[in-house]
Structure formats: C-alpha cells, structure tokens
Chains A and B, each alone.
Chain A
Amino acid sequence: MTFQGSLRFALRMALGAGAVVLVAVVALIDRSQRLDLLHPELVTGWVLLAAVVFLALLNVRKKLSMVPVGRASDWVAAHVVLGVVVIVIYAFHARAIWPSGYELALALLFYAVILSGLIGYLLQRMAPASLANLGYEVIWERIPAELADMRERIEASILECARETGSEVLPRLYREELAWYFRRPRFVLASLVGTGASSSWVHHRLDSVSIYLRGKEIEHATFLRECARRKVHIDRAYAIQGLLKCWLLVHVPATYGFLVLVLWHLILVHVYLV
C-alpha cells in the first residue's frame, strides 16, 4: 500500500472508532440524565442537530471543489458512518417510531432521508459494476441523441431495403412496432431487474418476420438486430443510471424539508421549555 493509501485507511479506521465512541458517549449521557430525572433530549437533540448539519454540509462540499477541503470520498465515508450513527442518536432522542402532530411529519422526513440514504449507498456499491459489464459506456445526457442517430440509420436502411427489394416486410415491422421501441428507452423496470424483456421483445418480433425475408432483406434485418442489441444496452444503462440519480431526488429535498421542520421544532421546544 502506498503512503497515501495507508493514511486513508487509517482515516477510515479512525472514523469507525469515532462513531463507536460518539454512540457510547450519547448513550451514557442519556442514561445518566434519565437517572437524574433531567431532560436528556436537550443534549441528544443538539448532538443530533449538529450531526445532521454536518451531513447536509456534504452538499456544500460538492460546490467547493476548487478549494482543498478534503477529498470528496473521505467526506462521503464520514457521511455514511455518521449517517448510521445519527439513526442511533435519533432513537435515543425521539423514543417513538410514530409520534403525533407535526412531529410525525418530522419523523417521516427523517425516515425518508435515512432510508433513501441507505438505499442509495447500496445502489452506489452495486450498480456501477452492472453498467461496466454492459461493455460500452452510455452517456446519460447523450441517450436521446444516440437514439435519434440510431433511428436515422435504421430508417435509412429500411428505405434502402424497400427500394432494393420492393418488399414491405421490414418497413411494416418498423412502422407497426419497432418505431415505438427505438423512440426512447423502453422496459425500464424490467431492464432494472434484468429480466431480459427488452431483448426478447425486439428479437421475438424480428424472429417472427424472419420467415418472410429473402436475400438483401436479411442483411438489413441483421443490421436491425445489431441496433436492437445496442438498444437493449441503452435501456439497461438508462434504467440503472436513472435509479442512481433518482434516489438523490428523495434524499436531498427530504434533507432540506427535514431541516426546515427541525427549525420549527426548535422554536416550539424553546417556547415550551421557557
């Protein structure tokens, strides 16, 4: 391992140890205050808030890529570890799974953040390899352009086929079914799960008409099959990359919603305590 590598390994270990210590300290304070009939919620609440604010700062870190404020990967490691710790601190603090009133909204937003975070973390660990295994890289922003380009080439091939052979088979197949397929990513859910629906749908159609094809038409059908293979990859890449982006659409807005309600919560608690 390089020096940098070992340094970062040590940093990750320290993170883990820090998390355990933090949980232990919060547990001790909670217990001792409870025995003294004090309000441990005050301490656990502030610790929880500090932790959540730190977690939310990841968003700020992402905007500060021009200044050396630590590597994003170290921030994410700290984020995930603290994210899990926060669940424990929350449990000490709230003590109820389904509170009532506005606190239910607060709890639901917290669960949304935590759950989406955990799901997102797992996705980030598992999904990239599936994308890599596709064999060629699909750029999310370029999917519409890539499909438009593919459609253009397919339509040119089909027109040429009609001109050369006078046969209507491929033009009809394209008009009746394949145009729909190549218009945009299809079978998103199935592609995500990996059922192979996209592939079998298009190849089944091509197989069905293959008995009507002769000579030159077969060459054009082969070209269609090549495009279909690529389209199957695009469908899968679209589904996986979409999911990799989607979860953040829950995680981040829920974070902000949660922080706003926390502010409200603080004011109420303050008024109540005073």
Chain B
Amino acid sequence: MSSIPRPQRWDRPFDENMSDDDVARLLAFPAFADIDAARFPDQIPLEGIVHNDSRLLHFAPGEVVVREGDYGNSAFLVLEGTVSVVLAPGLPASMLGRSSSRKRGFASAFSQLWRNRNDVPEVRVYERRSQAAASSQAAGVTMVDIAAVKQGNSTVQLGSGRIFGEIAALARGPRTATVIADSNSVLLEIRWQGLRELRRFDAGWRERIDRTYRANALKVHLGEDPLFAGLPPEALEKVAAATLFETYGSLDWNVQFKRKSGSESRDVPPIVAEGDYPDGLLMIRGGFARVTRHIGNGERSLTYLSAGSSFGLDELYRMWRGEPGISLRASIAPLGYVDVLRVPYFILVEHVFPNLTQPPQDNLHEAYERPLTDDSLMEWAIDERFINGTRTMMIDLDRCVRCDDCVRACASTHGGNPRFVRHGKQHDHWMVTNACMHCIDPVCMIGCPTGAIHRDQATGMVVINDESCIGCQTCANSCPYDNIRMVEIRNPLGDIIADSATGRPILKASKCDFCYEQPGGPACVRACPHDALSRNSFAELAKLAELR
C-alpha cells in the first residue's frame, strides 16, 4: 500500500498565485470591507474564501470574459475598469471563438488498448501530476471589436463593485449573456463554492446576490421569450416590474427524493389547480412542474414543464377575447422545486395580446385525448425524475442480449473500470441504467467543495476533475439516482493508495463522462452490437410539444 496526504478542500486554490497582499487588498475593497468576518465559521473563514475560492483576472479592452451558452460555475466582481454585458439576441457563435473540449486524437485513443490495465483498475500516477492543472475552467482568450459590438447590440455597462455571472453560478446552468471588457479591467472570479459561502454567511452579499440575480434573470428570461422579445425596452421594463417571482418546493429536492427511495411524490399541493380562474401567465425559469388533469380518482400527467416553457396562455387569451366561463384546464404542481415567473393578466392585455397575430395554441387537449396507456412511459419518467436527464442511458430489453459489451467498452475507455452499472429501474421493456444522465439540474454539483464536478464548457457534460476531487462523497450522496460511485485508487503496481495520515484508502468520485474526450462519442452506444443501448433526453423522447 502506498500513501499520500488525504486531499482537503483548498488543497488546490482557485488561483495558485494569490498572495497574502492580494487578499489583504481585496478584503479592504468595499464589497468585502463591509462583511462581518466573525459570522464565518472557523473552518471556512472569509479570508480563506477570498484566498482559495477566488482568482484575479486581468482583461484587455475587447477581451471576452464569459461567453453566452458556456457552462459556468463562477461569478465575477468588477474591481477595476468596466465591462459590457451584451443583451439578447447576443453575438454570433463564430465571433465568440467557441472552444471545443480537448478531444483525444485517434492515436491517443488507440493507445488506451495497452495503457488501460484491466487487471489493475483506477491507476493514478501522482508523481507526474502537474500542479498547474488545477482549473479546468481557464477560458481561452477571445477578442472582439468592442466598438462594433456596441454598435450592433444593446449592452449594459458594469463598473467597479458590480457582480455578474451569478445566474449561471447559482442556477448551475449556461451563461445567459456574453460579457466583454471595455477597458483594461481587473476582475475577481469567485467560484460558486465561495459565492455560496459568502451568500450563506453574510446578509449583505445575500441580499445583493439575490437582487442582482433576480433582476438580471428576469430581464434575460423575458427578453428570450418570443412573447416579449419584440417589445420596446420601456414596455419590457413595465413587464419586468409587474412580474412576480415565485419558488415552489425545495432546492434540495434530491435529499427528499432519495429518502423516499427515488420516486417523486404525487401528493404535492398544486401551484394552480384545474378549474381555477387564470390570473397570469406562469413561465418556468428553472426546475420542473407536472401538468395534470383529474381522471377518475387520480391525476393524469399530460406533460411536464421545464425551463423555458409556460402555462396558461391559451386560457388567458380566450378570456381576453371575451369567451365566458374560462378556467384552467389543468393543474400544475412542482416536481421537486420549480422557479416560476408570474406575468399578470393585465400586463398581457396591455403589451402582448394586441400584438399576437395568431391565437396561442397548446397541445393539452390532444394530450388528454391520447389513449390512457400511451403516457405510461412519461408518467414513469416523471415519477422517477428521469426527465431531468439529457443523456439518459436506456436499454431496450427486447433487443439486449445481456452480452455486457457496453460495460466492457466503458471500462476500456476509462482506465479499466466501467463508469456505470448495467442495472436500473425498468418500465415495460425499457431499462434506465445507473449511468450519469447529465442532468438539466445537476444537483450533484451542489456542495462540491472544490468545484471538481463541473460542466464541461464546450459540451455541457457534467464531468469530474480527478485532480481536484477530494473524495468527500458529497456528489455521490447528492445524486438522486445513485449514479456516482466512489472508487479506491491504485498506483501502477496495483497497490491501493492510502491517506498517509490515517492509512485509509483515498477515494475518488467516478461516473459516466459521456466519453467527452474520446473521439467518436460514447463508447457504450458504439459497442452495442444490437442497437439496444441509446442515450436519450426525455424531452425529445416523449416529443412533448410545448404547451403553447
């Protein structure tokens, strides 16, 4: 058995070069100076957060700070200079110099044939590790002509003391806007673990983050919706001012879901109920909601709503047209948690309905008319929360010959150990295996103390940076589907690597990475001799039409 010191949070600071002087200067900056450091626990001091969870970045004029669509796990505080946020519709992808994740070449992929040791899985060579490779988030430099951008797009300028990027950081989603440096600027990038602690222990930051988060999210969200996209800025301002924020369920839905041994409860009070008088358009900003109608003594799921979908427009429109006795034709209830924007009826009457050239249409009626058993797969996927997955591994058991070629292919592309188990919940002839689904709402990322589990910037896949994983099991415990496993690691001789202090084996989190670095895509799909295995998004699978 060989041994190394057990990895700890902050073993790998976000910025290796952050000095004590830098930290002292940052702590004197107004955004930090007002914080009561005494409120932070001893093991997570404010100074420690600034030192380890943030990094100083310098940008030249025209340099892109974040690109719209990239998955980001951090927010930025402007220290010096100014930056511009490019509002929707945003810059073309080509202008943003989208980088792709580092795919292996053919030769490198082929060499896994002899590099992988099937007899000794999970080998790590610690001596050869580069200390500098801590951050997988380092952005490539992209320059744009700032004057041209400002001419062709609406932008918002942010100066010293302003925070941005917190939408993506806290919602674990893609960046909603591109941000470009206007002048020589110095920014402090705070990874979301640090942002979370700042928000948790300081009321000022909490209030500030929430305010900016809400205001920015709303503008972006409304601006992206076809209903409001064409509105003049003053009208959009009015819509934003009247829109209500509502959150239902709890953000840590995964904990309850897991406790109930993985099945979504149907006894949840609805946000609005079938037969209610419609008072506003409900737009889903994050999370999921179930749309149901009474049938017999139960509730039948007609569809589910996720970020970007909305509910009630059809009824509201018909009310505006003067149809009598209008009420909601279905109920909606949170699935775990859901973030909702409620745009009041009078706002739609004033700014939206008069501009509609065609009446809005949803598919609720057709959904209700479908034969009862047609929806069983969807009902199951909703109850089991598989709708969260974007790359859910499904095996058609009518085709699968149980040869395990998929498992072997996975092992041979991942150091001799497969990243999934060919087992899982079954419905009819479908099996959803215990393989990472690369969720829309990746709750596994919540609480990772080092940011090791993150979304790959180019592909959006949820991946683990093995170097910064400290084996704390937070992600494995958070995953509601038990799709992350903790593995013991070994040196090339096959000895288990242990913590030099306690002698206990060092663990690393291991899960499907959708072969994001392999040429040719996921090995499991390619290896299946009978096309029985596929990776699906339930949203596409069920071909659920939008409600409007």
Chain A interface (Cβ < 8 Å from any Cβ of B): 62-68, 70-73, 75-76, 124, 127-129, 131-132, 135-137, 139-140, 241, 244
Q: Can you list 25 A-B pairs, Cβ within 8 angstroms, ordered by A?
A: A64-B110, A64-B113, A65-B413, A66-B109, A66-B110, A66-B518, A67-B109, A67-B519, A68-B520, A71-B531, A73-B528, A73-B530, A73-B531, A76-B530, A128-B400, A128-B401, A128-B402, A128-B530, A129-B398, A132-B397, A135-B426, A137-B397, A137-B431, A140-B402, A244-B401
Q: Which of B154-162, B252-260, B403-411 contacts A (4 or more CB under 8 A)?
A: B403-411
Q: Interface 1/0s, chain B 417-442, versus A by CB < 8 A? A: 00000110010010100000000000
B400 partner residues in chain A, CB cutoff 8 A: 128
Q: Considering the complex, give the chain B residue whose CB is closest to the CB of A62.
A: B405
> A66-B109, A128-B398 provided; 15 other pairs, C-beta below 8 A?
A65-B526, A66-B110, A66-B112, A66-B412, A67-B519, A68-B526, A70-B526, A73-B530, A124-B401, A128-B399, A128-B402, A129-B429, A131-B397, A131-B402, A140-B402
Complex interface: chain B residues within 8 A of A136 (CB): 426
User: Given the complex, which residues of B lie within 8 Å of A137, measured CB to CB?
Assistant: 397, 423, 426, 431
- Tell me the smallest distance from the CB of B541 to a CB of chain A, in Å: 12
B 328-387 contacts with A by CB, 8 A:
none
CA–CA, A44 and B314, complex, Å = 71
Chain B residues with CB below 8 A from A135, complex form: 426
Q: Is B163 an interface residue (CB 8 A)?
A: no
Chain B: interface residue total (CB-CB under 8 A): 36
Q: Which residues of B contact A65 (CB under 8 A)?
A: 405, 408-409, 412-413, 523, 526-527
Classify the secondary structure of A's interface with B: helix
Nearest Cβ on chain B to A248's Cβ, whole angstroms: 9
Expressed in whole angstroms, the minimum distance between the Cβ of B525 and any Cβ of chain A is: 8
Closest to A73 in B: B531
Return chain A residues, CB-CB under 8 Å to B110.
64, 66-67
Residues of chain A with a CB closer than 8 A to B230's CB: none
For A139, what are the chain B residues with a Cβ–Cβ distance below 8 Å?
422-423
Q: Does any Cβ of A come within 8 Å of B529's Cβ?
A: yes
Complex contact B526–A72 (CB within 8 A):
yes
Interface centre among B109, B408, B423, B527 (most CB of A within 10 A): B527
CA distance A261 to B198 in the complex (A): 74
Please indicate the chain A residues that have their CB under 8 angstroms from the CB of B409 in the complex. Answer: 65-66
Q: Which of A62, A63, A132 has the most CB of B within 10 A?
A: A132
Contact partner of B413 among A66, A73, A75, A131, CB < 8 A? Answer: A66
Instruction: Kindly provide the distance from the CB of B23 to the nearest chain A CB, expressed in whole angstroms.
Output: 45
Q: Are B113 and A63 in contact (CB under 8 A)?
A: yes
Closest chain A CB from B323 CB (angstroms): 40
Residues from chain B with a CB closer than 8 A to the CB of A68 are: 106, 109, 519-521, 526
Residue of A nearest to B430 (CB): A132
A188 to chain B, nearest CB (A): 16
Q: How far is the CB of B540 from chain A (nearest CB, A)?
A: 10
A68 to B527, CA, bound (A): 10
CB distance from B533 to the nearest CB of A (A): 10
Which residues of A are found within 8 Å of B531, using beta-carbon distances?
71, 73
Q: Which residue of B lies closest to A64 (CB)?
A: B113
Task: Select from chain A the residue with minimum beta-carbon distance to B518.
Answer: A66
Quick check: A67 and B429 within 8 Å, CB to CB?
no
